Amino acid sequence: MTLSVYFVTPDGVSDALVLAAARGGATAVQLRDKCASDAAMIAQARRLKAQLAPLGVPLIVNDRLPVALAAGADGLHIGQSDGDPARMRAALGPDAILGLSIETEAQLAAVPPGIVDYLGVGPVRATATKPDHATPLGLDGLARIVAAAAVPAVAIGGVGAADISALKAAGCAGIAVVSTIAAAPDPGAAAHELALAWRHA
Ligand code: TZP
Ligand code: MG
């Protein structure tokens, strides 16, 4: 799984925007929607899975294990209060992708070994996209966590193309973004810019 340009969707994202991001260069997509019903999210995840699979872009569902299972998604991403990672792994099976959000060094120290495939570390900066976010880590705090992580880690929260060289130097496996792609005038071009910046950093 390539996490270099990880697009995390805003609530209510259109299929067209996700496809534009993937065609532009997003290497992984997380369907994150805090408002949709499970039924609506399952339907959208099924559609997206069918369209992303030919592009080789995995579809990961945020928070909702039943949605990930019902939709046949490639994986699940959970936060600190979304349940026990070992229980999620048992339900998903060994081949699914399981990601976990990390906000502090203490949370990193508590990650059960051999359960999760990658970590989402952040927020790097304050961001309006997640109003209830934890205290921002800054690039230094991010780098400390990433250096100590046993699995690949992506940086999230207020990051964009200008951060990529610092994130790569810190050892990140990728950059995870919502608004840098979703709020861009041309989301496909924004994803392409991130992919190019990652490749050339
Ligand atoms: N988790 C930590 S920050 C964040 C999530 C889902 C939102 C990131 O959004 P943006 O727009 O890329 O800052
Ligand atoms: Mg969550």
Where are the domains positioned within the chain? 5-200
The token duo for 121 is 């570390």
By the CB criterion, residues less than 5 angstroms from ion ligand 2 are 63, 79, 82
Do 67 and 96 contact (CB within 8 A), yes or no? no
Quote the CA–CA distance of 7 and 5 in Å, as a whole number.
6
The topology under which CATH files domain 5-200 is TIM Barrel (3.20.20)
Choosing from 49, 89, 130, 168, the catalytic residue is 130
- What ipTM describes this predicted complex? 0.99
pLDDT at res. 161: 98
CB 89, CB 111: distance < 8 Å? no
Q: Name the closest ligand to CA 88.
A: 2
What's this model's pTM, rounded to 2 decimal places?
A: 0.98
Q: Please list every protein residue whose CB sits less than 6 Å from any atom of ligand 1.
A: 8, 122-123, 127, 129-130, 133, 156-158, 177-180
Helix ranges, the chain (H): 15-24, 38-52, 65-71, 85-92, 105-109, 138-148, 164-169, 179-182, 187-200
Q: pLDDT tens, position by position, for the chain (201 residues)?
A: 999 999 999 999 999 999 999 999 999 999 999 999 999 999 999 999 999 999 999 999 999 999 999 999 999 999 999 999 999 999 999 999 999 999 999 999 999 999 999 999 999 999 999 999 999 999 999 999 999 999 999 999 999 999 999 999 999 999 999 999 999 999 999 999 999 999 999
* pLDDT the model gives residue 131: 93
What was the pLDDT predicted at 134? 94
Q: Which residues are annotated as a binding site?
A: 30-34, 62-63, 82, 101, 127-130, 158, 178-179
**Structural contact between residues 67 and 85, judged by C-beta atoms closer than 8 angstroms:** no
Helix, strand and coil content of the chain, in percent to the nearest 5, comes to 45, 15, 40
What pLDDT score was predicted for residue 43? 98
Tokens of 112: 């059960």
